[in-house]
Amino acid sequence: MRLVWSFLLVMGLSFPAYASFDQSHAAWTQLLRKHVTWIRDGHASVVDYAGFKRDQPALEAYLATLSAVPKATFERWTRDQQLAFLINAYNAFTVDLILRHYPGIKSIKDIGSWFSSPWSIRFFTLLDGKRTLDDVEHKLIRPVYRDPRVHMALNCASKGCPALRPEAYEADRLDAQLNDSVRRFLGDRPRNRYNASAGELQVSKIFDWYGDDWQNNAVGFHGIKDLFARYAEVLAQKPAAIQRIRQQEVPVEFLDYDWSLNGK
């Protein structure tokens, strides 16, 4: 019995922290609830970067737990655990990037240089490698999970972006959270709306940039007009307009993107 307890003690002391990784991302949720606020009836959010700056040690502690997860461990997780992890990592490291330059910037695009965008800066470690935000979005997420709803979940710290939710994404309710983020974003009139006088949908430039993702995906969408048809009652109010959108008869115009910081 003494040998058994000795073995368990040694194993316990050497058991890596990532093996018990918190799939609820509670530490990230705690920070988000404290520093992110819904605005415009829950269709957008505003981030208190000054408050995040004061809580930077807590953010860095959470980021360290993300960086500590080896790729081999990550690959044993369920699909939803993996995707929630990557979305949260993208958003948390984006906040981290802003804080490295805050205050003193008005846009995430103020970071970087002529030769290096903020999304191509290799400033953090994830899944055993030094990564950029572009790596996470365009190499680890988009081609692997083929779920275009992530474009309503990944936040680029800009007013034009879909909202940063005041909670972490969690595997157990990931599908519902992604659907909710899509609905909230499409219901935000400054960024997505039916223009009755022009007889057209005026929508975020995101749907232009990532239109192919809505056409070729693993979750059953058949292009952006199919997406708009499913959420017609969110984009328009009058029955005739809703019917036209559902029948995919409405032309689409893409709006200019607002890159100003989504801070207070």
CB 203 within 8 A of CB 228: yes
Least confident of 17-26, 193-202, 206-215, 252-261: 17-26
Span 134-153, pLDDT tens digits: 999 999 999 999 999 999 99
Q: What is the mean pLDDT of the chain?
A: 93
- At residue 19 the predicted structure's pLDDT band, cuts being 50, 70 and 90, is low
Decide if pLDDT at 7 tops 60.
no
Residues listed for the chain: 264
Alpha carbons 30 and 121: distance in angstroms, whole number: 27
Span 113-128, pLDDT tens digits: 878 899 999 999 999 9
Say what the pLDDT of residue 121 is.
97
Span 79-98, pLDDT tens digits: 999 999 999 999 999 999 99
Helices 56-67 and 26-35, packing angle to 10 deg: 150
Domain map (residue ranges) of the chain: 25-190, 192-254
Rounded alpha-carbon distances, angstroms, from residue 49 to 2, 91, 124, 247: 53, 13, 19, 43
